[in-house]
Structures are given as structure tokens and as C-alpha cells.
Amino acid sequence: MTDLFNPTEEHLALRDMVRAFAEREVDPQAAEHDKHERFNLPLFRKLGELGLLGVTVEERWGGAGMDAVAAVIAHEELSAADPGFCLAYLAHSMLFANNLAHNGDDAQRGRLLPLACSGEILGGMAMSEPGAGTDVLGMQTRAVADGDDWVLDGAKMWITNGALNDAELGDAFLVYARTAPGSRGLSLFLVEKGMPGFRLGQKIHDKLGMRASTTAELVFDGCRVPGRNLVGAEGQAVKHMMRNLELERLTLAAMSLGMARRSIEVMNRHASERQAFGQPIREFGQIQRHIAESYAEYMAGRSYVYQVAAALSLKSGGNRVDSDGVKLYCGTMAKNVADRAIQVLGGYGYVGEYQVERLWRDAKLIEIGGGTVEAHHKNITRDLGRLDKLR
């Protein structure tokens, strides 16, 4: 029988490699970088040496050429150690590298993907704005043709990898901008550090969670972008966006799996070690309920995620209802599991030393970023309304 979570020997080897790296190098630095809201760029570049930064990018562009299941494995394992660091990885590998690999032309791929896959550049994707998040068609950033160039004006907000530090921009971004009215009026541009009129607005500080990844505002003030940096055809960005959002939501759900798994491991170990009234607290029904329900919910979510990943085409997508579904379920599941872990640990869970306090803070982001819980409710209900029966 095929292992749903490791369908091939290659997938199993990938999991073993990423888990070993996460335990050896990611976990020990997590608390410190969370505390100081600092992104670990040298550690990030080591992911390039492992072939993870382009895990779904074709080998001819410097990637590993693997599938959606491989992407899920990488995100599950890294987030079990440091979800903030993993979020930076997701923004780079999924929202930038995978997006460019499937929507860019050969010149764009050849110029930037080898650098992205090696970690020489840090990339991201810019869609949300100060006044437009879930309402994508409400975006105000505009691009106007000017000779052979495009001129961008506007601002993007909440951009992961937007800054390397407090004063320095990330290296390259896929930026969505309006080129005409309506849903067919959005286009996608490659905007790179150093382009005239492109600057860092503010780095966002004091976030509840995911503090080991940078979040920033990007400002485009008459930003001049060469015509060759238009990604795909003018006005076709919504199609690109929807296809890549499926993989983004799937890998965000995979991050939730990693957070839930680590929370269960911590509370399970503590329940055996902690004594109360002369016996381990795992002998008490209240504690048993926290552990048992957490495990069952985690395994239900894990099975759902890997089933969706196995069926997902990186080129065409095509399962929007379940990419929404896995993130809707797993995001809330991970937050609830981390909450139960804090409860099982009591006062110990409320402080940073035992990790579940940080996991609880990090888990909340999955209910907001990449599509809010409310957006998933709307999307799933709309898509199911087109069906007479469920398969």
C-alpha cells in the first residue's frame, strides 16, 4: 500500500533530509530570531544548498523539479521548527520562484530563477495593499505604458520578504498592478531592487507571530519597469494569481501541520513527565481529551492536505475548493492544538521556553494570510453551489 505522506522513496528521502536539517540548524535559532524580529538570511541561503528554494522549479532553471507533495513535505518539516522562518521560505519558493517558473518567459526564468534557487537573491510576491487585501479587484497600484517601459505608482502592504532588514529592500518581487479597469485589467510585473522609484516604505514591527520573517510596505513612486519585465500577457494576471494561490494555500496548510505536530509532541511528552496527585497528568481525563482530540484533528488535516497535494497539477491547478478547504481546516486546527498544548503545560506553556507559546502566536497568521477564514467560507460555498452532488 502506498504511503500517503511519503508516496515515493524520493519523497521519504526529502522528508528525512529536511527534518534532520530543521532539528539540527533551524530549531536552535528559532526563539532568538523570533525575540528580536530578525530574519536569518545565512540560514535561508543554506536551503539553496539543499535544493529546497526551487523545490518545484524545473532542473534546467536550477530547481529540484519536484511536485506539490514535495513542497508540502518541506513546509511541514520546516514549520515544526520555526514557522516564521518557514513563511519566508514559502514567500520565496512558492510565491516568487514557482510563480515565475510557471508564468514567466524563458528570458525571465533564465535570468532570475538560478539566483532564486541558489539563494543569491531573496524574492517575494506583492498583491495586498493598505486598502485592499481579500478584495483583490480593489487594488489601486497602477502601471501605465511609457514607450518601451511601464511606470508603476502605488503601495503594497504586508509583504513577506519585503525587507532584508530595517533599511534594505528584498531583491525581486512579482508585483500585481492595474493596467485597465475590471478583472481583466490586472497585470504582473517583475520589480527589482535598484529600479528608479522603487523603495521600502516601512518594515512592520511588533507582529503577534511569524516574527522571524520580515513584513514590509513597498512603495512605487513613478517606478520605471522595463517592458521585458511584464510577466505573461497584459491583463492576464488574475489567471496567474488564482493558479498560484492554490499552491500557496496548500503549503500554508502544510505549515499548520508542522505547528500542530510539534505542539502534540510537546504536550504528550509533558503529560508523561509532569506529576500531579501522585501520578502523571496523562492519567487524567481532561488531559487525555486535549491530547486525543489534537491527534485526531491533526491526522484528519494531514490526510486531507496530502490527498489534495497528490492530485494538484503545478501547471494548471484546478482544485480551488479543496485548496481553500485544507487551509480553512488546518489553520484553525493548528491554532486550537497549540492552545490545548498551552493548557496542558499550564504556566510552562505560557512562557517561550517550551515553544508552544510561539507556535500559538504563529498559528494565528494562517487564519489571516493567504486568504482569511471568511474568504475561504465564501469561496467554498460559491464553488459548491455549482455542484449537484459531491464525488
Residues taking part in catalysis: 248
CA distance to 31, 263, 266, 290, 336, per residue, from 270 (Å): 19, 11, 6, 12, 18
**Separation CA 376–CA 105 (nearest Å):** 31
Say how far residue 132 (Cα) sits from the centre of its chain.
19
Closest CA relative to residue 355, chosen from 260, 249, 225: 260
DSSP 324-380: HHHHHHHHHHHHHHHHHHHHHHGGGGGSGGGSHHHHHHHHHGGGTTTS-HHHHHHHH
Task: Count CB neighbours of 53 within 10 A.
Answer: 31
CA distance to 224, 315, 349, per residue, from 199 (Å): 12, 32, 41
Counting Cα atoms < 13 Å in the Cβ hemisphere of 378 gives 7
CA distance to 15, 151, 184, 223, 238, per residue, from 144 (Å): 45, 5, 15, 10, 18
**Separation CA 228–CA 108 (nearest Å):** 8
Task: Count CB neighbours of 118 within 10 A.
Answer: 16
Lookup: cell for 223:
517606478
Tell me the H-state helices in the chain. Answer: 9-21, 27-35, 41-49, 68-79, 83-90, 99-103, 106-118, 237-273, 285-311, 320-345, 356-364, 373-384
